[in-house]
Amino acid sequence: MAPSADEVRQFPRPPVTFTDQEDRTVDVEAYTGDPTPLVSMYAEFDSDSRAQGVPPRGEEQIREWVETLLDEGLNVVVWHGEDAVGHAVLVPEGDGSELAIFVHPDYQSAGIGTRLIEVLLGHGQENGFDHVWLAVSRTNHVAMKLYDKVGFETRLRDRAEHEMERPL
C-alpha cells in the first residue's frame, strides 16, 4: 500500500548551496541549458565510473546522450565554480520516472551524491512527479546504500541488477 501524501518525505527544492565533506562549496541547480558542461564532465569518466553502459564513451556519443536527457528529463546539476561535477535526471517512462545519478569521480564519497539525489527528488515533487524507479548493479553497494537512505525499496532482484522504487 502506497503511503499517503502526508507520509511522503518532502525533499529540498533547487537551488541549494552546501559545503561537501571535502570543504568545497557547491551549488545544486535545476538545469535546462547548454549540454557542453555536462559533456565535459562525462568525458572525464573512466571505465570504473561507468555502469550499465552509461555514460557512453566518446564526445559525440556523450553529447547525443546528454542532449536526450536534457530534452526528455527533469535535470539537476551540481556546480563547483564553473564546473559541472554531478548530474541527476528523472526521465518519464510509463507510470513513473526513471532516475539516473552521476557524480564526477573526484567528487565522490563527499556527500554530494546524497544531496544531489535529495534535490532531484524535491525537484520532481515540485513538478508533479509521483513515482520514481531506478536500476542499480547488484555489486554497487555504495549506490544501493544511498538509495536506501533516501527511501527507495527493492522491487526486483536478478543476477545483474536490482530495481528499486519510491513514491514522491
Residue 97 CA to residue 38 CA, distance in Å, equals 21
Range of the domain at 104: 5-167
The secondary element (H helix, E strand) that includes residue 134 is: strand 131-137
The model's pTM: 0.91
Question: Which amino acid appears at position 142 of this protein?
Answer: V
Q: State how far the alpha carbon of 148 is from the alpha carbons of 61, 108, 117, 152, in Å.
A: 31, 18, 12, 5
Q: Taking phi first (over 0 means left), then psi (-120 to 50 degrees means alpha), and beta for anything else, what does residue 51 get? A: beta
**What's the pLDDT at 1?**
43
Query: Which of the 8 DSSP states describes residue 98?
Result: E
Position 165 scores a pLDDT of: 97
Distance between CA atoms of 10 and 75, rounded to whole angstroms?
A: 18
**Would you state the torsion angle of the CA atoms of residues 106, 111, 114, 117, taken in this order, to the nearest 10 degrees?**
-40
Single-letter amino acid, residue 125: Q
Per-residue pLDDT 10s for the chain (168 aa) are: 455 545 789 999 999 999 999 999 999 999 999 999 999 999 998 867 756 666 888 999 999 999 999 999 999 999 999 999 999 999 999 889 999 999 999 999 999 999 999 999 999 999 999 999 999 988 888 899 999 999 999 998 888 899 999 999
Which helix (H) or strand (E) element contains residue 124?
helix 112-126
CA 102, distance to chain mean position in Å, is 6
**131 SS3 class:** strand
In CATH, what number is assigned to the domain containing residue 37? Answer: 3.40.630.30
For the chain, the domain total comes to: 1
Please tell me what DSSP assigns to residue 138: T
